[in-house]
Structure 1
Amino acid sequence: MGIFSRFQDIINANINSLLDRAEDPEKMIRMMIQEMEETLIEVRTTSAKVIADKKTLERRMMALQKDAKDWESKAEMAITKGREDLARAALTEQAAAEETLELAHSELDAIEAHLDDLNSEVSQLQHKLDDAKAKQKSMLAREQTTRSRLEIRRRFNRDKLNEAFEKFERYERKMDDMEAEVESYDLGSKDLAEEIADLERDEKIDQALAKLKAQMNKKESGDQ
Structure 2
Amino acid sequence: MTSITNRFTTLFRIKANKALDEAEDPREILDYSYEQQLQMLQRVRRGVADVATSRKRVELQVSQMQQSSGKLQRQAEQALAAGREDLAREALTRSTAVAAQTTDLEAQHASLADQEEKLTLAMQRLEAKVDTFRTRKETVKATYTAAEAQTRITEAVTGIGEEMGDVGMAMQRAQDKTEQLQARAGALDELIASGALEDATVPVGRDDIQAEIERVNADQNVENELARMKAQLPAASTARAVEAPRTPTARPEREETP
TM-score, length-normalised on structure 1? 0.55
Output aligned runs, 1:107-122, within 5 Å.
107-122=108-123
Which residue is equivalent to 1:34? 35
Number of residues of Structure 1 aligned to a counterpart in Structure 2 = 137
CA–CA separation in structure 2 for the residues paired with 1:69 and 1:94: 8
Output aligned runs, 1:50-199, within 5 Å.
50-147=51-148, 149-150=150-151
- 2:68 corresponds to which letter in structure 1? D
Q: 1:29 to 1:152 in 2, by over 3 A?
A: closer
What per-residue deviation string (whole Å, max 9, x for no partner) do you get for residues 136-156 of structure 1?
A: 211233134435654775687
8 Å contact kept, 1:40–1:126: yes
8 Å contact kept, 1:74–1:90: yes
Where do 5+ consecutive residues of structure 2 fail to align?
Answer: 1-22, 161-258
Q: CA RMSD in A?
A: 2.4
CA–CA separation in structure 1 for the residues paired with 2:108 and 2:115: 11
- Describe the SS at the equivalent of 2:83: coil
What per-residue deviation string (whole Å, max 9, x for no partner) do you get for residues 52-87 of structure 1?
A: 111111111111001111111111111111112221
How big is the shift at 1:105? 0.7
Structure of higher CA gyration radius: 2
8 Å contact kept, 1:32–1:132: no
Where do 5+ consecutive residues of structure 1 fail to align?
Answer: 1-21, 160-224
- 1:84 corresponds to which letter in structure 2? E
- 2:51 corresponds to which letter in structure 1? V
CA–CA separation in structure 1 for the residues paired with 2:139 and 2:41: 23
Higher relative CO (Cα under 8 Å, sequence separation at least 6) belongs to 1
- 1:140 corresponds to which letter in structure 2? K
Deviation above 2 Å: which 4+ runs of structure 1? 143-157
Output aligned runs, 1:9-20, within 5 Å.
none
CA–CA separation in structure 2 for the residues paired with 1:41 and 1:148: 36
What per-residue deviation string (whole Å, max 9, x for no partner) do you get for residues 119-150 of structure 1?
A: 12212321221122112211233134435654
CA–CA separation in structure 2 for the residues paired with 1:108 and 1:23: 50
Which residue is equivalent to 1:201? none
